[in-house]
Amino acid sequence: MESAERQNIFNTWFLWHFYETPKFLFSVWKNFIRFGSNYFSIPLLLKTFFSPWRRYRWLYPKGFDIVEFFNTLVSNTFSRILGSICRAVLITFGVIFQIFIFIAGIVVIIFWLFIPLIVIAGLFFVNYDF
């Protein structure tokens, strides 16, 4: 009876360690990636990459006024360039963050799966003669 219970505990542990916890870690990893994507709004920033900075834009003259036309064109172009620079910085930060999360997730999950092996190897190391 006791050995059956012990066996059952071992099975419970095995299932928990190699199935339930990795599944949970994957969901945590997915949440972090989603968080990074939402926080830095990478898809939205890519969609609106060349939009004017803070929607600062000037209306073109209605009549024929070449000076005012070029004045507006240059201003709008600068607003768009400024917007794209700021968005590029944010996208870069976002991508670095996502890469960090991606690598950290892989490391954590692999480390978790290898814990029993590390423990066994470490305890085996006690009796090892150099």
Partner 1 sequence: MFRAVKTEKFFVFRFAGIFWKIFFCLFIFSAFFLLLSLLDLFSGIFALRMSIIFLALFLLFWELSLFSNLKLKSDNLREIDAELSDAVFAPEGYNFADFLSFEACKIVEGAVKFCRRRKIYEINSTSLFYSAIRNGKETKTISYRLGLNVRKLQEDSQNFGKNSKAG
Tell me which of 7, 12, 48, 77 binds partner 1, using CB under 8 A: 12
Quote the CA–CA distance of 115 and 125 in Å, as a whole number. 15
Give 3-state DSSP helix, strand, coil % of the chain, rounded to 5. 85, 0, 15
Say whether residue 64 binds partner 1 (CB under 8 A). no
Quote the CA–CA distance of 129 and 44 in Å, as a whole number. 60
Q: Cβ 103 to partner 1, closest distance in Å?
A: 21
Q: Cβ 80 to partner 1, closest distance in Å?
A: 51
| Mask for 85-124, x = binds partner 1 (CB under 8 A) | ------------------------------xx-xx-xxx-
Write out the DSSP string of 36-59.
Answer: HHHHHTHHHHHHTTTSPGGG---P
The binding site for partner 1 (CB under 8 A) comprises 5, 9, 12-13, 16-17, 20-21, 115-116, 118-119, 121-123, 125-126, 130
